[in-house]
Structure 1
Amino acid sequence: MTSSATRTGILIGAVLALTWIVIGFWAFFFVAIAMIVGAVIGRIIDGKLNVAGLVDAFRGKRSSS
């Protein structure tokens, strides 16, 4: 039996592939970006993403000394 993450990955791949085939590349691109944004927001809400640490990383600050 496959894991839940594997099934989710297969579903996401199928949605993206069908979007590309039926609507075209740019629709695929925007759907992929929307899925990434949704995943990031979900991780923030679940508390699994440290936003302050992410902002510091983009600013070039190191977390370790």
Structure 2
Amino acid sequence: MGGAPEGGRRVRGGVLTADPAGQRPFRVHVDPADDGAEVVNAVGDRVRTEFYRRIGLDDLLRPAVA
């Protein structure tokens, strides 16, 4: 895991690094069994996003500077 791949991203210990704050992905999927967990997590993320928008909490879906 020497140099950073294209885009400046690097994975160390299952954590994606080297991206500026606010540009990092919400979740990184590691699915060695290839059992479809990535698809299930994507559906859960979509359902959560729709729910937050419906109840008026869509501001929680974006990073905020404190």
- TM above 0.5, yes or no, is no
TM-score (norm 1): 0.43
Greater strand proportion: 2
Greater helix proportion: 1
Q: Work out which of the two has the higher radius of gyration on C-alpha atoms and give 1 or 2.
A: 1
TM-score (norm 2): 0.42
